[in-house]
Amino acid sequence: MTSNRHWRYWFRCWRRLERFLLPPRCVYCGVATRIAERALCAPCRDDLPRNTASCRRCAAATPTGEVCAPCRERPPPWFRAVAPLRYEFPVNAALRALKFHRRLEVAPAFVPLMVAAYRRAELDCDAIVAVPLHANRHASRGFNQAQELARPIARALGLPILPGVSRARRTRPQSGLDANARRRNLEGAFRIGRRFDFAHALIVDDVMTTGATVRELATCLRRSGIARVSVLAAARRSAAVASGAADRRERVVQNNSQEDDEPNDVVFEEGPEAAVPVATARQP
């Protein structure tokens, strides 16, 4: 007991020293933040593009928040999709920095927003599923961005993360594919090695585009015995981007590696902030 108290004492001292020498900074503007703010300062949080009026089924932007026509015509295999942000600058730059440049410090900036959106939706999920990567892609990248979001969300909500959900095969890069090609590309992509008795699983991912990935995963989860599935993503792409029409707004520069599902280097051509790193994107 004494050794545990000593360990906790020195750990608290180390954390105080760490906060003094390396104070937490906003991932968008680089300004030192208060402990309660952590990775996102209040001004940047208030300026983020919110996904306020959106379809309850797929989280796509709609004029008044009604269920969109595609979801009425072809209901998705999940119950509800929630995404607190739109996939626009600087959210898109931050998520690409997390996913392709190993900026893991970006993930904590999205977690409180995602947790708050989940609670506003009043979902009753009892388990969480992070969208898995194929083992080879996970090894080459070194982490799974969906897991980096799912773990702290699971802790905040007090929910378990489902084991045994994996990527059964390597798929072609999703970037550049239209909605139909994305769906075909992901057919049979996931494997679930056991039956579950959970009532409502929550799929967590970084970006929801056409919904092809979560559609395939939700179908597999329901086949494994889960009665209901919902989706929580950090950001939702607009219908134009999801269909591929707005991809022309970004000039993608690919390197020699074809291991990832999107290119590693992106040059944004949407304004003067295009070449500014995430941590300095907000101008004083």
Give the Cα separation of 35 and 26 in Å (integer): 11
As a whole number of Å, the end-to-end CA separation of the chain is 50
Q: Domain range holding 144?
A: 50-273
DSSP assignment string, 112-137:
HHHHHHHHHHT----EEEEPPPPHHH
Residues 13 and 55 in one domain: no
252 band by pLDDT with thresholds 50, 70 and 90: very low
Q: Are residues 166 and 133 in the same domain?
A: yes
- Cβ atoms of residues 97 and 103 within 8 Å: yes
Total tally of structural domains belonging to the chain? 2
User: Which tops the pLDDT comparison, 134 or 273?
Assistant: 134
Both 89 and 18 in one domain: the answer is: no
Q: What angle do CA 40, 41, 42 make, to 5 degrees?
A: 120
For residues 165 and 222, membership in a common domain is answered with: yes
Q: Tell me, yes or no, whether 33 and 70 share the same domain.
A: no
Answer yes or no: are the C-beta atoms of 207 and 179 closer than 8 Å: no
The answer to whether residue 147 scores a pLDDT higher than 90 is yes
| Domain membership flag for residue 120 | yes
Instruction: Tell me the sheet residues that pair with 25.
Output: 32
Within a domain: residue 282?
no
**61 shares its domain with 119:** yes
Asked if the structure places residue 278 within a domain, the reply is no
Check pLDDT > 90 for residue 112. yes
pTM: 0.78
pLDDT at 14: 66
pLDDT on residue 141? 87
Sign of CA pseudo-dihedral 241, 62, 129, 97: positive
Structure confidence by residue, pLDDT tens digits, 16-58: 666 666 677 888 988 887 765 678 888 999 999 999 999 999 9
The answer on 243 and 109 residing in a single domain is yes
Residues 261 and 164 in one domain: yes
